[in-house]
Amino acid sequence: MTASNDLTGSSDQWAPPEGSQPVPLRPINKLLIANRGEIAVRIARTAHRLGMGTVGVYSEPDANALHVDSVDIAVALGGETAAESYLRGDAIIAAAKATGADAIHPGYGFLAENAAFAQAVEDAGLIWVGPTPEQITLLGDKVAAKRAAVEAGVPTTPIWEIGDDGAVPDGVPMPALVKAAAGGGGRGMRIVTKPELLAESILSASREAKAAFGDGAVFIEPYIERGRHIEVQIMGDQHGHVIHLGERECSIQRRNQKVIEESPSSGISEATRAAVCEGALALARAVRYVGAGTVEFLVGESDDGQVINFLEVNTRLQVEHPVTEEVTGFDLVEMQLRVASGEPLAISQDDVTITGYAIEVRVVAENPATNWMPSTGEITAFDVSDNVRTDTGIRAGAVISPNYDSLLAKVIAYAPTRQDAARSLARALRTSQVKGVDTNIDMLVATLGERDFLAANTPTAYLGEHPDVLTPTGPVGDDRVALLLAAVFAEERRTRGDDKHHGFAPSGFRTLRTQGQRQTWTDGATEHQVEFVVDSRSAASVSIGAWPTPIDDGTLTTDERRRIAVRLLARTDEREVIEVDGVRHAVDVAIEGETVRTRSAAGSVVFSQLPRFVEHELDIAGGGPVCPLPGTVIAVHVAVGQTVGEGDVLMVVEAMKMEHKIIASAAATVGEVRFAVGDRVDQGDLLVALEPVE
């Protein structure tokens, strides 16, 4: 498929109300960015290019964050959590007035779709960079947006509204999707496959929506299995013009949150492309939309072709907006700022063409192999290839906390073909350095090279149907051997450096020459037995494989290990340049406690050295599940004396804006509940003491 330059929409404007006054121009001289992280950095970049002064805001943990250094001045909001800082609309407006800012850009998340905040900004005499408060109210309520879409002729499906009593409606076909009426980002959403799970899903989704958006209202709609998530970027000005800038596909998701986005979509027909773009324009015209927005659809397959279902409108800039910028050549933040200041759109629909392909991946501090468990800690290194676009709000020294979401960076590649964009992006990720926390980089690399992905067979069920990409093997052959040996000799170098008495001597100087130093390393899936003799400061002899063991008659089993001649060409705390049987490999290393993270141009692997002697663990009465990461208890499902079974939910902990269920691993009796709703918990805390059932 080649990108099409034909973007539907013969009319790009609605008629201004009769008798309306001309829109006055209000130049923006100083912009307050009411956000943090990569979007705050990205908005500041465009504002500075346009000659605007910038004001940032920050919570206490973000006092030295990258986004604070990316603005001219920044105002402390105090507090640690979002509720104590970035959600304090009154404090943000006060900061704007105190610093002489004349406009506020909310970015995405936090207050971006809060109509009351938008109204308060305008009431304070400031420019709001976004749709009108009335449009946010209408379209921010997904139920109201559905009604508006029907009236505008946009294709959609029926919905079931949930009343204040939370009663479960009858006759809901399965599978169904429980969805928050407010907000977005996958929060307050639950896919339900069995009717008996509907009530709990409504309760859980409502609770999560209340915590995230302050509104627990939810509704139900049919869930299209193996659909495609297609969204259309719209932009309108205050003079009656509205255009779209093509569609994006965001089908590859985890926990209803996007992981990989691209533009244009390679999985829809030209007829569907025209229909979603025209539908988005129809809705935008109907509500007289102003500013940037995204009209989202779910496209499914049927015997008659592709079925289109309107989902919602996001009345803000989207996380994935860079792919649209790459294929259209337009700066969407610049368009937002000019529209907000009263300028008409400088382009018409005929000026919008799509050229080439762009793919964006979200690098998050989560481990896909452990059900996307979030990871917290200090970023000790952050480096991504200059050959791709990287939007980020972190750098070395940044601390990833449970108070905010897990997004570290967005990495975007553009190329004439989709395959070229995927290859370029995969190489940039393979050679990147992000140390200090677990990330999904290896999963992203595996996906970008996977056969179905390259063939654009990417429905929303993609990750569930391709579990292998969540636990990729990584480099193979001698590429993997080089990473293993880099870990071995990085640890050997550290051990020698820490030895204040014998560090001058070669490693293993006290070992008999008939046997080298023996170690066992694991990559989480396979154990690797390594024996090495350091011949000099720059050379070693290595054997890899199961070492010979004595059998009943005292003789040793046949030695079938691989012998490798190793040269250590260059060594620092962060890199081992190692020659394996005459082939040179440059490997970045990071020793973190008991593990060594390794990465080369071939990819990355984390190795851990197994102890030689293991103490037998004692059976401890009163054991139970420990907290997997710092967070806040938001639900307790058990009481002392209660009997639970394997898989029963004990507690729910919220961290990084997501709910994490703590479950029982076996039948047990609850001996003690150590935390209550609202309590803060740390990683490793024993949450519920359990007594085994005899």
State the SS3 of 153-213. Answer: CCCCCCCEECCCCCCCCCCCCCCEEEEECCCCCCCCEEEECCHHHHHHHHHHHHHHHHHHH
CA atoms of 653 and 680, how far apart (whole Å): 9
pLDDT tens figures, 376-415: 999 999 999 999 999 999 999 999 998 899 999 999 999 9
Name which of 401, 465, 454 is nearest 423 in CA terms: 454
CA distance 278 to 239: 20
- Sorted by where each begins, the domain ranges of the chain are 477-609, 631-692
The domain over range 477-609 is classified in CATH as 3.30.700.30: yes
Q: Is the pLDDT of residue 545 over 90?
A: yes
Over residues 584-601, the mean pLDDT reads 92
Kindly state the DSSP code that residue 43 receives in the 8-state scheme: H
Q: Residue 619: pLDDT above 50?
A: no
Residue 609 CA to residue 617 CA, distance in Å, equals 19
3-state secondary structure of 562: strand
Cα(488)–Cα(491) distance, integer angstroms: 5
CATH number, domain 631-692: 2.40.50.100
Average pLDDT taken over every residue of the chain? 90
Same fold, 477-609 and 631-692: no
- What DSSP line would sit under 108-152, residue for residue? SSTTTT-HHHHHHHHHTTPEESSS-HHHHHHHHSHHHHHHHHHHH
For the stretch 115-168, pLDDT in tens is 999 999 999 999 999 999 999 999 988 888 988 998 998 988 788 888 877 788
What digits encode the pLDDT tens for the residues 248-304?
999 999 988 999 999 999 999 999 999 999 999 999 999 999 999 999 999 998 767
Residue 5 above 70 pLDDT?
no
CB atoms within 10 A of CB 67: 26
pLDDT tops 70 at residue 663: yes
pLDDT value of position 62? 97
pLDDT of 617 higher than 90: no
Residue 250's alpha-carbon distances to 123, 214, 260, 299, 359, in angstroms, are 36, 26, 6, 11, 10
Q: Give the per-residue pLDDT at 656.
A: 74
Q: Taking 60 as the threshold, does the pLDDT of residue 9 lie above it? A: no
At residue 303, the 3 state secondary structure works out as coil
Nearest residue to 27 via CA among 95, 103, 100: 103
Dump pLDDT digits (tens) for 38-85.
999 999 999 999 999 999 999 999 999 999 999 999 999 999 999 999
Confidence class for position 615, pLDDT limits 50, 70, 90: very low
Tell me: the pLDDT tens digits for 340-378? 999 999 999 999 999 999 999 999 999 999 889 999 999
Q: What is the pLDDT of residue 53?
A: 98
Tell whether the model's pLDDT for residue 505 goes beyond 60: no
